[in-house]
Amino acid sequence: MYKLTLTQREVLMALVELYEKHKRMVKSKEVAELINKDEGTVRNIISGLKSIGLVESKTGPSGGYMPTLKAFELLKRPSAPGLGYVRVYKGDVELNLAVINLELLDLLNPEGARAVLRVTGDFSQVSVNDKLRIGPTPYSRVFLEGVVTHIDVVSGQISLYVTKLAAIPREYVGNIASHQLIILTPNQKLQEAAKIFYNNRIRGAPVMDKGRLVGVLTATDLARAIAEGRTDSLVKDYMTRETITIREDEDILKAIKLMNTHDIGRLIVVDSTGRVTGVITRTDILKRISGL
More confidently predicted of 6 and 105? 105
pLDDT of residue 68: 87
Closest CA to 246 of 272, 264, 213, 284: 272
CATH of 6-76, one of 3.50.50.100, 3.90.45.10, 1.10.10.10, 1.10.510.10: 1.10.10.10
User: Which tens digit of pLDDT belongs to each residue from 3-54?
Assistant: 677 788 889 988 988 888 888 899 999 999 888 888 999 999 999 999 988 9
- C-alpha to C-alpha distance for 182 and 205, rounded to whole angstroms: 6
CA 30 from chain centre, in angstroms, equals 14
Q: Domain 173-290 carries which CATH code?
A: 3.10.580.10
- C-alpha to C-alpha distance for 104 and 114, rounded to whole angstroms: 6
Closest CA to 103 of 86, 122, 91: 86
Band (pLDDT 50/70/90 cuts) for residue 206 is very high
- C-alpha to C-alpha distance for 33 and 251, rounded to whole angstroms: 12
What is the residue extent of each domain of the chain? 6-76, 88-167, 173-290
End-to-end CA distance of the chain: 39
- C-alpha to C-alpha distance for 7 and 153, rounded to whole angstroms: 22
Count of positions (residues) in the chain: 292
Q: Which residues pair with residue 168 across a beta bridge?
A: none
pTM for this predicted structure: 0.58
